[in-house]
């Protein structure tokens, strides 16, 4: 039965199609201080989701700049809530914070990403990914156009971040990378990315503020930011076998809810977002499909696979050596200034110059010119 | 006006008032002008200041025959050029210039934009420049000013034009300006200047020296002898009008501060406190009242602060309780409060933050005064302490303090807490501490219910708490629907009517008077010295229908403490120097200081005037010497040059009088009581007044010492010295206490500038006496009583005056207020110098 056989073969091909074999997550909250409770809650809620979907603590690098659960101002000690009805304690029972308080610095963050870490560093503080890893990077804090503030003392710029990702790509530290940032003017942070296989999401466009959500009178602060709140709501519906794809994630927080305009960038990504499952990044589950048939994998399969799949991108997946046109992306023309002197100005200037000239030399000297 | 079709038009629609204001004077200008279509286009001005400038500009056209001057002015796209246009046009009062201001507003080149930043200079130059045209017949001089591509060009134009006061120059400003503008581009300034026709002296014009080409385009104003002479001529000739203008500008500026559009709304700057987002759960109003009754009973029984009961009660609430006995002997008896040798005890309890180190704390203080006053505040404090004890969210320790003898107790407690001894307070050391105090609230309540809250901000020496603390209080009052007032004045909801303006002006004046007095207006006032932000909150029970019970009051305080608890660092984000025309509007230091600056400018102008007159005397006498007529001139030169000896005696005597005024009253009180039938405090006050008045007789005494008195040079030098001295004093004190500086400046400066030994001497004498600091104090008291709607008769006012003198001295000796020493040692001698000037001959 060749038909059935080819069907199974297709399934098997599908089964092996996703290019990654392991998942990692780097979750960063960069703000200190009690009134930034919401940033810690943001990060912890993403932590909760990825952990629930199967990424183990050993594959999560969690960086929290402050400890809200134990802050003396917290009326409900040892909890961090994400909702004012107090039903979801994102602090949970089992939180493993890898980098905390003053360890959360730009340097440490970049070292984790690029793997340039002192030899004595424990495994829990390393990102031990390889070229088959899908990495989720989530960041939140206070940012501006082109930077994200770390603590109160330093900041990371979008160029630094883009270069770090490029270094990761060159060092074969990821297969695909999903970057999510919830901060003011978040879209400015992914503007400068130029390495392949990166998909990026941000809570707001350049020039926009990301807004907070869930003001809680009992705790006395805002509990979460709007964007992450709705992302969390969305992720709570996801289960390991969900077929929800990235396009659904893009729709998560429309402007009516978010007030800011969430943005995303997919031009560096090689696959169609529609074919990328949420669980490709948020989960770490291997597919299990039970079949009663015996599938003898065709030795020619490799050759078959090397042919470009018809529904996939026409382009060959990029090799490490061939980069995207970096120069083209970096050396973009600067934006034109908004304001131009009116045309009359140039004319007036010339008129003035001529006037001054004639006033100085007089009309009789015309012959010297012509 | 409705034709504005771009963003600025919309903006102006919001601030519509100003457009109308500008248009108003503009139209006024047309009354006598022979111009057409002037006011018309004003409406198209795209922004506020353009219209304003246009207004000023057209004012200048009152008698002019200008056409279309104001017209394009409305198109000025930047505020300052329009302003400059205004000034420029003012110069046209009698002139026959056409189209001068025209192009000013049209600057749209890059440098124009730069000039917008440095706008003042461009405008300044223009103003000066056209001022010079008062009698000239220049046309189109100012025209290119607007086209000047850099600020210095415009600036340079001013003095240049000044030189043309009587000249008849055609377009002389133009090439010069152009030259200046091009200098940066490599074209020599001489080229630009050489193109200009040399100014031709005409008719009765004085023989103006040939102007040398400016060596540098951005030449300093004073290093060019030609310009310097022009400037000096300007200062000499226009001195009195400039002084009058400056005084009017200073007072006008101050009066405008109460106008709501000038004062922006207050806003919370501190992120850590954020909003009023907190859930207050204090419901123990009844418990507060029962505490209050119990406290009142024990207080009556103990005949003072019931220390033992308070300690026991606080202990039972779970606080760490400490007491601090203190004693202080006053320099002389305080008759208004009837105290001399004071002994008292402060009791305080510390609520330790359950989950934080004791590194920071907040203070809730309640003064325990005589009689049945303030019992409810103690009750509420105890109820709050018991409620706070049950909460686990405290990150700072909270100190609950009951201080006896109000400010004295507070001073003793603060000194002991910070382990300093700056006054002669004797107290036991402090046992219990709770880290650095971040903020403090002093509470005064005398009734079971309140109808409104009054907040007092003015502290010792006019120091103010950070505006955020006031904002916090205001925010919580609004949240809980409590009425809150400042200076006892409720904010009016309307702001664009005259009564509303008068109301906010009254509030502002009250604040200025209180701040100027340098007295702490509540127990919070002493905290400020230690950089602890503090306010006093007074519960008022007047006859209003809506009353709030203790629970609401407690909730407000709970909310404030909850938010203060969230602080991460000291309050520092908001303003420390401000004036409050109402609780929701503030005037920051940058806005109110120019009012003072204008007043000080008078002194500087006058001093400059005197200086130039003096140096001119020098020059003329030197010239005469040069002529060879030495013998004849010798005597006058000798006479006109006063030696150092003629100036030192009045200076020394005046300052000695000041020092006597400072030291003698308190030192000599016992001698005085032995010889005169007066009490000690009366003796002190009367000695102060006696010495003060005795100073008036000084000129007659100094005359004997002076050898070369009577010369013009003598009094001019002395006055010059006195004016600069006064300017320096006032400038210094205004940095610390704006209100004190402004009040003294507003009264003393005009008379100080005017006084001289020639002219109506007795009028000057009366004026000078009227502006002496003592009379200012008297009038200030009178004004204050009028403003709080508790008018007093002259006799009562005199009584209050005597009281105020005594209290001023006590404030100085007890708490370290600087007002009395400042007046006695600095302002009064300076005033005496002026008195000497008046009676020089």
pLDDT top residue among B289 and A294: B289
Residue A46: pLDDT above 60?
A: yes
Three-class secondary structure of residue A335 per DSSP: coil
Whether residues A217 and B279 touch (CB distance < 8 A) is answered with yes
Three-class secondary structure of residue B130 per DSSP: helix
**Closest residue to A356, CB basis, from B110, B178, B393:** B178
- B750 pLDDT band, cuts 50/70/90, is very high
Helices assigned H by DSSP within B628-737: 630-640, 644-667, 669-675, 680-694, 698-705, 712-736
Say yes or no: A239 contacts chain B, CB-CB below 8 A. no
CA closest to B278 among chain A residues: A217
Residue B228: pLDDT above 70?
A: yes
Say yes or no: B395 contacts chain A, CB-CB below 8 A. yes
Residue A212: pLDDT above 90?
A: no
Tell me the sheet residues that pair with B329.
B341
**Closest residue to B277, CB basis, from A72, A220, A341:** A220
Determine the pLDDT at residue B757. Answer: 85
Give the A:B interface size as CB pairs under 8 Å: 62
Whether residues B277 and A35 touch (CB distance < 8 A) is answered with no
Q: pLDDT tens digit string along B416-429? A: 999 888 888 888 87
- Percent of chain A at pLDDT > 70 equals 78
Rounded Cα distance between B97 and B138, Å, is 6
**Closest residue to A35, CB basis, from B353, B392, B566:** B566
Helices assigned H by DSSP within B195-259: 225-237, 239-256
Whether residues A221 and B274 touch (CB distance < 8 A) is answered with yes
Q: How far is B567 from chain A (nearest CA, A)?
A: 9
Residue A317: pLDDT above 70?
A: no
Whether residues B279 and A341 touch (CB distance < 8 A) is answered with no
Give Cα separations from B635 to B618, B689, B727 (angstroms): 14, 44, 35
Residue A114: pLDDT above 90?
A: yes
Determine the pLDDT at residue B433. Answer: 87
Whether A55 contacts B293, CB under 8 Å: no
Q: What is the mean pLDDT of residues B675-694?
A: 88
Q: What is the mean pLDDT of residues A351-355?
A: 88
Determine the pLDDT at residue B327. Answer: 92
Determine the pLDDT at residue B779. Answer: 93
CA closest to A360 among chain B residues: B195
Whether B407 contacts B525, CB under 8 Å: yes
Residue B560: closest CA among B289, B356, B362, B284: B362
Q: What is the mean pLDDT of residues B718-742?
A: 93
**Closest residue to A341, CB basis, from B109, B191, B279:** B109
Whether residues A74 and B108 touch (CB distance < 8 A) is answered with no
Determine the pLDDT at residue A16. Answer: 59
Q: pLDDT tens digit string along B637-679? A: 444 555 667 778 888 888 999 999 999 988 888 888 888 888 8
Determine the pLDDT at residue B462. Answer: 92
Say yes or no: A34 contacts chain B, CB-CB below 8 A. yes
Q: What is the mean pLDDT of residues A342-349?
A: 82
- B40 pLDDT band, cuts 50/70/90, is very low
Whether B125 contacts B119, CB under 8 Å: no
Residue B830: pLDDT above 90?
A: yes
- Percent of chain B at pLDDT > 70 equals 69
Give Cα separations from B118 to A168, B47, B80, B115 (angstroms): 49, 19, 9, 5
Q: What is the mean pLDDT of residues B300-318?
A: 91
pTM: 0.72
Q: pLDDT tens digit string along B143-202? A: 333 333 333 333 333 333 333 333 333 333 333 333 333 333 333 333 333 333 333 333
In this structure, the strands spanning B339-351 and B426-427 are: unpaired
Residue B411: pLDDT above 80?
A: yes
Look up residue B42 and give its two tokens: 């004003």
Rounded Cα distance between B106 and B91, Å, is 20
CA angle, corner B127, sides to B125 and B132, nearest 5?
Answer: 100
Residue B387: pLDDT above 80?
A: yes
Helices assigned H by DSSP within A37-156: 37-52, 106-114
Residue A139: pLDDT above 90?
A: yes
Cβ atoms within 10 Å of A341's Cβ, excluding its own:
13
Whether B510 contacts B448, CB under 8 Å: no
Determine the pLDDT at residue A12. Answer: 62
Q: pLDDT tens digit string along B589-624? A: 999 999 999 999 999 999 999 988 888 776 666 555
Determine the pLDDT at residue B206. Answer: 41
Residue A104: pLDDT above 90?
A: yes
The complex's ipTM? 0.73
CA closest to B271 among chain A residues: A35
Determine the pLDDT at residue A280. Answer: 86
Residue B148: closest CA among B110, B197, B203: B110
Cβ atoms within 10 Å of A141's Cβ, excluding its own:
25
CA closest to B355 among chain A residues: A72
Say yes or no: A74 contacts chain B, CB-CB below 8 A. yes
Handedness of CA B149, B153, B154, B155 (dihedral sign): positive
Tell me the sheet residues that pair with A200.
A179, A265
Determine the pLDDT at residue B336. Answer: 81
Three-class secondary structure of residue B620 per DSSP: helix
Report the residue of A39, A217, A220 to disrupt the B interface, i.e. the one with the largest count of B CBs within 10 Å: A220
CA closest to A73 among chain B residues: B393
Residue B807: pLDDT above 80?
A: yes
Q: What is the mean pLDDT of residues B574-596?
A: 92
Residue A356: closest CA among B655, B698, B626, B171: B171
- B251 pLDDT band, cuts 50/70/90, is very high
Whether residues B278 and A72 touch (CB distance < 8 A) is answered with no
Determine the pLDDT at residue A5. Answer: 60
Determine the pLDDT at residue A364. Answer: 65
Rounded Cα distance between B248 and B426, Å, is 51
Residue B18: pLDDT above 70?
A: no
Strand order in the sheet with B426-427: B426-427, B320-334, B339-351, B397-404, B360-368, B436-444, B533-540, B452-456, B483-486
Whether A148 contacts A38, CB under 8 Å: no
In this structure, the strands spanning B320-334 and B339-351 are: antiparallel
Q: How far is B281 from chain A (nearest CA, A)?
A: 10
CA closest to A346 among chain B residues: B109
Residue B29: pLDDT above 60?
A: no
Residue B430: φ, ψ to 5°: -100, 135
- A4 pLDDT band, cuts 50/70/90, is low
Determine the pLDDT at residue B324. Answer: 92
**Closest residue to A35, CB basis, from B178, B272, B278:** B272
pLDDT top residue among A356 and B85: A356
Look up residue B437 and give its two tokens: 């105090």
Residue B81: φ, ψ to 5°: -65, -35
Q: What is the mean pLDDT of residues B349-374?
A: 89
Look up residue A167 and give its two tokens: 């270094």
Q: How far is B748 from chain A (nearest CA, A)?
A: 50
pLDDT top residue among A315 and B245: B245
Determine the pLDDT at residue B232. Answer: 79
Whether residues A359 and B175 touch (CB distance < 8 A) is answered with yes
B-chain CB neighbours of A349 within 8 Å are 109
Determine the pLDDT at residue B642. Answer: 58
CA angle, corner B812, sides to B807 and B813, nearest 5?
Answer: 100
CA closest to B272 among chain A residues: A35
Residue B60: pLDDT above 60?
A: no
- A84 pLDDT band, cuts 50/70/90, is confident
pLDDT top residue among B745 and B837: B745
The tally of CA atoms less than 13 A away on the side-chain side of residue B568 is 13
- B61 pLDDT band, cuts 50/70/90, is very low
- A316 pLDDT band, cuts 50/70/90, is low
- B630 pLDDT band, cuts 50/70/90, is very low
Tell me if residue A142 is catalytic: yes
Q: What is the mean pLDDT of residues B681-710?
A: 76
- B358 pLDDT band, cuts 50/70/90, is confident
The two counts, helices (H) then strands (E), for chain A are 13, 12
Say yes or no: A343 contacts chain B, CB-CB below 8 A. no
A-chain CB neighbours of B395 within 8 Å are 34, 71-73
Rounded Cα distance between B91 and B830, Å, is 37
Say yes or no: B117 contacts chain A, CB-CB below 8 A. no
Tell me if residue A340 is catalytic: no
Three-class secondary structure of residue A138 per DSSP: strand
Give the mean pLDDT of chain B. Answer: 74
Tell me the sheet residues that pair with B362.
B398, B439
Q: Mutual orientation of helices B173-183 and B151-162 as an angle, nearest 10°?
A: 150
Residue partners of B223: CB distance under 8 A and separation at least 6: none
- A312 pLDDT band, cuts 50/70/90, is very low
Q: How far is A219 from chain B (nearest CA, A)?
A: 7
Residue B702: closest CA among B766, B640, B654: B654
**For residue A220, is it left (φ>0), alpha (ψ between -120 and 50) or beta?**
left
Rounded Cα distance between B337 and B329, Å, is 14
Taken as a whole, chain A contains a residue count of: 370
Q: How far is B150 from chain A (nearest CA, A)?
A: 15
**Which of A20, A39, A83, A184 is labelled catalytic?**
A184
A-chain CB neighbours of B565 within 8 Å are 73
**Closest residue to A75, CB basis, from B147, B392, B563:** B392
Determine the pLDDT at residue A26. Answer: 94
Rounded Cα distance between B508 and B488, Å, is 12
Q: How far is A77 from chain B (nearest CA, A)?
A: 9
- B360 pLDDT band, cuts 50/70/90, is very high
């Amino acid at each position: 039965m060749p038909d059935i056989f080819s069907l199974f073969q297709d399934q098997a091909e599908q089964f092996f199609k996703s290019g990654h074999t392991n998942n990692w997550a780097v979750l960063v909250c960069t703000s200190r201080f009690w009134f930034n409770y919401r940033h810690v809650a943001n990060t912890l809620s993403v932590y909760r989701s990825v952990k629930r979907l199967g990424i183990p603590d050993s594959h999560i690098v969690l960086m929290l700049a402050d400890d809200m659960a134990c802050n003396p101002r917290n009326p409900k000690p040892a909890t961090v809530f994400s909702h004012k009805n107090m039903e979801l304690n994102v602090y949970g029972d089992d939180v493993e914070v890898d980098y905390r308080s003053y360890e959360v610095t730009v340097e440490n963050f970049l070292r984790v990403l690029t793997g340039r870490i002192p030899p004595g560093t424990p495994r829990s503080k390393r990102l031990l990914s390889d070229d088959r890893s899908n990495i989720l990077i989530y960041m939140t804090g206070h940012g501006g156009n082109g930077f994200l503030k770390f603590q109160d003392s330093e900041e990371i710029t979008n160029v630094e971040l883009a270069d770090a990702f490029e270094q990761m790509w060159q060092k074969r530290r990821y297969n695909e990378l999903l970057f999510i940032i919830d901060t003011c003017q978040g879209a400015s942070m992914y503007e400068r990315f130029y390495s392949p296989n990166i998909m990026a999401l941000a809570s707001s466009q350049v020039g926009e503020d990301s807004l907070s959500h869930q003001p809680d009178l009992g705790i006395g602060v805002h509990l979460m930011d709007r964007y992450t709140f709705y992302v969390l709501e969305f992720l709570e519906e996801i289960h390991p076998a969900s077929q929800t794809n990235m396009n659904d994630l893009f729709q998560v927080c429309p402007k009516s809810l978010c007030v800011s305009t969430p943005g995303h960038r997919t031009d560096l990504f090689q696959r169609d977002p529609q074919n990328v499952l949420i669980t490709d990044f948020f989960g770490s589950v291997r597919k299990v499909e039970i079949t009663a048939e015996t599938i003898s994998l065709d030795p020619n399969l490799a050759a078959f696979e090397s042919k470009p799949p018809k529904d996939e991108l026409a382009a060959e997946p990029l090799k490490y050596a061939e980069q995207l046109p970096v120069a083209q992306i970096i050396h973009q023309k600067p934006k034109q200034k908004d304001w131009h002197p009116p045309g009359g100005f140039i004319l007036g200037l010339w008129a003035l110059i001529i006037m001054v000239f004639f006033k100085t030399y007089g009309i009789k000297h015309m012959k010297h010119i012509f | 006006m409705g034709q504005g079709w771009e963003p600025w038009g919309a903006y102006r629609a919001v601030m519509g008032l100003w457009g109308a204001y500008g248009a108003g004077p503009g139209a006024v200008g047309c009354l006598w002008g022979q111009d057409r279509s002037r006011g018309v286009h004003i409406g198209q001005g795209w922004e506020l200041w353009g219209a304003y400038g246009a207004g000023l500009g057209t004012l200048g056209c009152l008698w002019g025959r200008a056409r279309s001057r104001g017209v394009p002015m409305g198109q000025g796209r930047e505020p300052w050029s329009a302003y400059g246009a205004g000034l420029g046009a003012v110069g046209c009062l009698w002139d026959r210039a056409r189209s001068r201001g025209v192009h000013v507003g049209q600057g749209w080149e890059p440098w124009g934009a730069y000039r917008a930043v440095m706008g003042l200079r461009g405008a300044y130059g223009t103003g000066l420049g056209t001022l010079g045209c008062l009698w000239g017949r220049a046309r189109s001089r100012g025209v290119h000013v607007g086209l000047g591509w850099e600020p210095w060009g415009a600036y340079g134009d001013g003095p240049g034009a000044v030189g043309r006061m009587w000249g008849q120059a055609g377009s002389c400003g133009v090439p010069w300006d152009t030259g200046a503008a091009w200098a940066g581009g490599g074209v020599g300034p001489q080229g630009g200047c050489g193109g200009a026709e040399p100014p031709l002296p005409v008719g009765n014009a004085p023989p103006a020296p040939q102007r040398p080409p400016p060596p540098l385009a951005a030449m300093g104003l004073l290093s060019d002898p030609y310009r310097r002479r022009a400037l000096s001529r300007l200062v000499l000739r226009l001195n009195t009008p400039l002084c009058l203008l400056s005084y009017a500008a200073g007072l006008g500026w101050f009066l405008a501060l109460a106008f709501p559009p000038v004062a922006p709304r207050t806003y919370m700057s501190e992120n850590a406190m954020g909003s009023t987002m907190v859930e207050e759960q204090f419901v123990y109003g009844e418990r507060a009242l029962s505490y209050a009754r119990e406290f009142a009973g024990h207080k009556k029984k103990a005949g003072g602060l019931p220390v033992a009961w308070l300690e026991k009660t606080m202990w039972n609430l779970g606080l760490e309780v400490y007491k601090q006995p203190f004693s202080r002997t006053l320099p002389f008896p305080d008759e208004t409060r009837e105290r001399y040798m004071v002994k008292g005890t402060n009791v305080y309890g510390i609520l330790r933050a359950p989950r934080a180190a004791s590194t920071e704390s907040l203070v809730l203080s309640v003064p325990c005064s005589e009689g049945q006053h303030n019992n409810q505040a103690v009750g509420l404090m105890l109820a709050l302490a018991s409620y706070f004890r049950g909460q686990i969210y405290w990150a700072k320790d909270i100190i609950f303090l009951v201080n006896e003898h109000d400010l004295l107790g507070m001073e003793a407690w603060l000194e002991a807490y910070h382990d300093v001894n700056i006054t002669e307070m004797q107290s036991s050391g402090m046992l219990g501490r709770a880290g650095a105090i971040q903020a403090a609230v002093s509470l005064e309540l005398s009734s079971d219910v309140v109808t409104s809250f009054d907040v007092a901000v003015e502290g010792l020496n006019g120091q103010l708490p950070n505006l955020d603390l006031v904002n916090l209080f205001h925010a919580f009052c609004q949240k809980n629907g409590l009425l809150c007032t400042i200076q006892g004045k409720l904010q009016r909801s309307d702001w664009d009517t005259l009564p509303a303006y008068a109301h906010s002006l009254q509030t502002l004046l009250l604040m200025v008077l209180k701040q100027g007095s340098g007295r702490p207006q509540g127990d919070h006032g002493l905290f400020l010295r230690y950089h602890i932000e503090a306010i006093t909150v007074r519960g008022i029970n007047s006859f209003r229908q809506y009353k709030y019970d203790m629970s609401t009051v407690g909730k407000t305080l709970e909310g404030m403490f909850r938010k203060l608890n969230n602080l991460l660092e000291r309050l520092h984000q908001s303003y420390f120097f401000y004036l409050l025309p109402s609780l929701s509007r503030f005037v920051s230091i940058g806005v109110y200081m120019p009012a003072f600056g204008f007043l000080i400018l008078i002194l500087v102008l006058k001093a400059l005037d005197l200086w130039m007159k003096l140096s001119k005397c020098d020059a003329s006498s030197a010239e005469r010497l040069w002529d060879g007529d030495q013998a004849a001139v010798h005597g006058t030169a000798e006479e006109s040059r006063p030696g150092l000896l003629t100036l030192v005696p009045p200076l020394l005597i005046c300052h000695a009088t000041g020092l006597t005024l400072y030291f003698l009253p308190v030192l000599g009180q016992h001698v005085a009581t032995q010889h005169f039938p007066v009490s000690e405090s009366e003796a002190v006050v009367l000695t102060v007044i006696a010495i003060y008045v005795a100073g008036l007789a000084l000129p007659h005494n100094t005359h004997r010492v002076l050898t070369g008195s009577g010369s013009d040079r003598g009094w001019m030098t002395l006055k010059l010295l006195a004016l600069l001295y006064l300017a320096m004093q006032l400038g210094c004190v205004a940095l610390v206490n704006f209100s004190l500086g402004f009040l003294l400046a507003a009264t003393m400066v005009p008379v100080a500038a005017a006084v001289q030994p020639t002219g109506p001497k007795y009028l000057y004498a009366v004026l000078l006496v009227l502006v002496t600091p003592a009379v200012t104090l008297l009038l200030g008291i009178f004004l204050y009583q009028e403003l709080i709607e508790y008018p007093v008769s002259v006799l009562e006012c005199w009584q209050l005056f005597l009281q105020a003198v005594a209290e001023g001295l006590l404030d100085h000796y007890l708490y370290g207020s600087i007002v009395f020493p400042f007046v006695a040692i600095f302002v009064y001698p300076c005033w005496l110098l002026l008195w000497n000037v008046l009676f020089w001959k």
